[in-house]
Amino acid sequence: MALNSMLRRVASTVTPLAIRAVRSSRSFHNAIASSLSVEKRILERELHRGGFYPFMRFSTASATKHSSDESLIGVLQSEIECAETEESPDHKILEDLPDGFPFEIQDTPGERTILLKRQYQDEKITVEVDMPTVTEEQEENEDDEKNEEEGYQSSVPLVVSITKGNGLSLEFGVTAYPDEITIDSLSIKQPEGSEDQLAYEGPDFNDLDENLQKAFHKYLEIRGIKPSTTNFLLEYMSYKDSREYLQWLKNLKTFVGK
């Protein structure tokens, strides 16, 4: 009886301790599981908001863009080298004006036109020269080889303004071909700021009497618009076209490379 009573007392003491130990162990594991669950939810939320996966996606897109830019830069560099090879060193002598060239040249890099200026007696003469164009000749040659060689010719358009002291000016639209000049239009321009915007500008130049056309050609020739001048301009503008194209390519390469 005494032994049984003692065993019951020991059991009553040990059992609660064992239960508490088990409960404590379960609480510890539950706490760990709960903490891991919270960390998992935080990680999933961060991934959803823009964590590692979007970063990897953007990095791939950035790498693709960089590769594409590098490819474009390579093509531009190849074109630059081609343009530099085709640019003849002999063309640099065009910067030296030929004997008797009556105009001062204003050539601003990056612009497609140049401006010629001179003073002739009491007249101020300005000539705006545009880039050369290539046109197809309408004449058909019997010799096929000759037709292929002369089927196209280069020309430059000019706007010639001759201004008197009162501001009134005579404006010619001119096309210069090798060894030939044609007058396309002729009009009188009022001084700047004039309200007379609908003034009669005269008939088409080709409709004028032939003698009058010849007289105006002579009028321009005396003022420096003649084949020796325009032939130089044809070469000069062709060279300028090449230089501007080369610089344009370099500017593109610089922009893409930034």
Q: What is the pLDDT of residues 157-208, one digit of tens each?
A: 999 999 998 889 999 999 999 999 999 999 998 887 666 566 777 889 999 9
190: DSSP letter:
P
Nearest CA to 166 out of 150, 147, 190 is that of 190
Q: Any idea which residue has 């830069």 for tokens?
A: 73
- Look at residue 15 and tell me whether its pLDDT is greater than 50: no
Helix (H) or strand (E) holding 126, with range, is: strand 123-129
pLDDT tens-digit map of 199-248: 777 889 999 999 999 999 999 999 999 999 999 999 999 989 988 999 99
Strand 180-189 and strand 169-177: the pairing is antiparallel
The per-residue pLDDT for 123 is 96
What is the reported pLDDT for 83? 84
- The per-residue pLDDT for 142 is 46
Residue 34's identity, in one-letter code, is: S
Q: According to the model, what pLDDT value does residue 135 have?
A: 74
Number of residues written out for the chain: 258
Mean pLDDT for all residues in the chain: 77
| Residue in the block written with tokens 């096309």 | 175
Number of C-beta neighbours around residue 3 at 10 A? 7
What is the rounded distance in angstroms from the CA atom of residue 223 to the CA atom of residue 174? 14
Looking at domain 89-257, its CATH architecture is Roll (3.10)
Consecutive H or E run containing 232:
helix 227-257
What is the C-alpha separation between 77 and 256, in angstroms, rounded? 12
Whether the predicted pLDDT of 17 surpasses 50: no
Find out whether 233 and 107 touch, Cβ atoms under 8 Å.
no
DSSP-derived 3-state class of residue 22: helix
Tokens of 88: 């003849």
pLDDT at 120 exceeding the cut of 90: yes
